[in-house]
Structure 1
């Protein structure tokens, strides 16, 4: 079975986790700040809070930016539902902005048009969440400029994008955003099993994120309402959650970070080879903006269905019948039943819907061999030639 994505676990990773198992710190321990610092050193941000998933990171990022009832969060429909659900967790409302047909990211031009209309209606968003789909960064200069003009905060959902670059700077430096969120799920660029992180350059936001990820509890005397009663003393000063990463997970993350650059380089080599092997087939290959250096979490092709006899579903099923576990990223969020119950409907975001009807994520991960890649291409050729 060839999977569309999977983790790469080395003996060094295993040894790092075993070291924690043999220590006295299975949950909270020294590897968590070490992992946070290793990510900060790579991305160039000032503060990091490691958590148990990117979903949790999105939630506390919204809370740290004081999103709540009566507020709006806008994001892209071409994402996993967590990018939108984080607003609902806070009691806020969600809307979407259609995608750019080349990058499949949130379209700045569509965003600007929607903002103009929203300003007239008195319904501007408090937060916009651009998602760096497949690892390619959004047009953050344009989105940031609109944020300055219309007054919204920005959370970069970089769940796909650690190790990527924008304008030759690391994704995650928060130059154009308030908070950036990463995912370390096993199919992502590096893994901590489950896990995520929020990074920011703003100390006040970092303090809020830290409180929110651990029950709202602090041992920092500067944040307390009353004098310390003893070395055991702590106070709950906010309503937080148990979103903490474990030391076991962090140890794996520290080990994986040593290979981050190599992983991204390998993904680019695979993408370049796909580009050569698929160049003459009736499929649309991923377009890369010249300002971006994608982390290539995904390699998405779009079927040129007008040139094929098989349907989208038939090509997808043909792959799986040949033991290639392709996938589809993503079903547009606004077409999910839960969101349609809110009033969203087919036709609301046509570019995202058109993309969904044609897209297939083919295998892309650093352990993919050339022989396996050749087999993927062979099966695709069979699927579209019959």
Structure 2
């Protein structure tokens, strides 16, 4: 089976992990801070806060911005449920903004219209969470300009986008946001097995996120209410969580960062090959905005269902039966049963639903071979007949 995505691990990665296993620190040692510094320097941000998953990073990002019960946050329906669930974890209310028909990212025009309507109703969002789908950045400058006009904070969900760029900056620079969140799950660009990281340029937000990831406990005397009793002394000053990243993950992340540029170049080479091989088939290949250099986490195609006799399900099954590990990204969040119990319904965000109805993600990862790519496209062509 050719998987739709997989990690790329070599001997240098294994040696880095083994070094930690043979050291004095399996957690709360030097590797995680070094990884945080490395990612912050790479992205051009001032601070990096590593955690055990991107879901955790989204949660503490929301908490650090003060999102709470009675507040409102918006994200996109075309994402994994974690982008929305983090809002609910804080007790806040949620709504969605539909996607652009070409990029499948949050549409700035739709966002602006929704903000204008919300302003008239007196219920503007406190936080907006754009998602950089498939590795391609949203139009963050436009969204940032809207945030200045309408007064909301921004968390970039860049779970797909480590290594990508927007205009002249790396994704994660936070030039047009308060916080950016990355994922290091094995199918992402680089991996720490599980793990996530938030970048920010705001020192106060960085301190808050560091506090929330570790039980809300501090050993900083300047933050304490009482006199320090000894070297053992700590105080809990917030209701935090245990979201820490281990030294094993930090070491793997540092090793993987050495290969990030090469990984992105390989993915772009594979994308170009797909574009060549799929030319002329009844489908739409991924659009690449001139504003961005995508990290190409995914290669999602859209079937021209009116031009073929098969359904998306039939094409999907044919590919799987032939050993091609395709997937679909994503089932629109507002159509999930949990969210429908909250009042969301099909038809509310039609562009996301149209995209979902015809989408299939083809295998894409740095170590996929040209023979694999040719086989995927050969089987796809057969399956469309």
* TM-score of the two chains, using structure 2 as the length reference: 0.99
Could you tell me how far apart the structure 2 residues matched to 1:146 and 1:162 are?
24
Could you tell me how far apart the structure 2 residues matched to 1:125 and 1:301 are?
32
Aligned to 2:50: 50
Residue aligned with 2:384, SS? helix
Could you tell me how far apart the structure 2 residues matched to 1:319 and 1:124 are?
44
Aligned to 1:33: 33
Aligned to 2:271: 271
Aligned to 1:198: 198
Residues 105 and 138 of structure 1 are in contact (CA less than 8 Å); yes or no, is this contact kept in structure 2? Answer: yes
- The alpha carbon displacement at 1:216 in A equals 0.4
- The alpha carbon displacement at 1:310 in A equals 0.7
Could you tell me how far apart the structure 1 residues matched to 2:224 and 2:178 are?
26
Could you tell me how far apart the structure 1 residues matched to 2:225 and 2:198 are?
27
Aligned to 2:331: 331
Residues 130 and 155 of structure 1 are in contact (CA less than 8 Å); yes or no, is this contact kept in structure 2? Answer: yes
Aligned to 1:349: 349
Could you tell me how far apart the structure 2 residues matched to 1:212 and 1:118 are?
31
Q: Which aligned runs of 4 or more in structure 1 are off by greater than 3 angstroms?
A: none
- The alpha carbon displacement at 1:279 in A equals 1.4
Aligned to 2:113: 113
Residues 54 and 182 of structure 1 are in contact (CA less than 8 Å); yes or no, is this contact kept in structure 2? Answer: yes
Could you tell me how far apart the structure 2 residues matched to 1:212 and 1:134 are?
29
Could you tell me how far apart the structure 2 residues matched to 1:44 and 1:223 are?
28
Say if 2:176 is the partner of 1:176: yes
Aligned to 1:371: 371
Could you tell me how far apart the structure 1 residues matched to 2:216 and 2:110 are?
38
Could you tell me how far apart the structure 1 residues matched to 2:128 and 2:60 are?
15
Q: CA deviation digits over 1:281-323, x for unaligned, max 9? A: 1110100110100000000000000110111000000110001
Aligned to 1:227: 227
Q: Which runs of 5+ in 2 are unaligned?
A: none
Aligned to 2:322: 322
Aligned Cα root-mean-square deviation (Å):
0.6
Residue aligned with 2:29, SS? coil
* TM-score of the two chains, using structure 1 as the length reference: 0.99
Residues 168 and 293 of structure 1 are in contact (CA less than 8 Å); yes or no, is this contact kept in structure 2? Answer: no
Residue aligned with 1:324, SS? coil
Could you tell me how far apart the structure 1 residues matched to 2:153 and 2:272 are?
36
- The alpha carbon displacement at 1:231 in A equals 1.1
- The alpha carbon displacement at 1:204 in A equals 0.5
Could you tell me how far apart the structure 2 residues matched to 1:116 and 1:168 are?
30
Residue aligned with 1:251, SS? helix
Aligned to 1:250: 250
Residues 59 and 86 of structure 1 are in contact (CA less than 8 Å); yes or no, is this contact kept in structure 2? Answer: yes
Residue aligned with 1:267, SS? helix
Could you tell me how far apart the structure 2 residues matched to 1:126 and 1:175 are?
19
Stretch deviating more after TM superposition (101-110 or 270-279): 270-279
Residues 100 and 351 of structure 1 are in contact (CA less than 8 Å); yes or no, is this contact kept in structure 2? Answer: yes
- The alpha carbon displacement at 1:203 in A equals 0.4
Q: CA deviation digits over 1:318-344, x for unaligned, max 9? A: 110001110000000000000000000
- The alpha carbon displacement at 1:168 in A equals 2.6
Aligned to 1:138: 138
Residue aligned with 2:301, SS? strand
Aligned to 1:298: 298
Aligned to 1:74: 74
Q: CA deviation digits over 1:33-79, x for unaligned, max 9? A: 01001101110000111000000000000000000111111000000
Q: CA deviation digits over 1:238-292, x for unaligned, max 9? A: 1100000000010000000000000011100000111111111111010011010
- The alpha carbon displacement at 1:220 in A equals 1.2
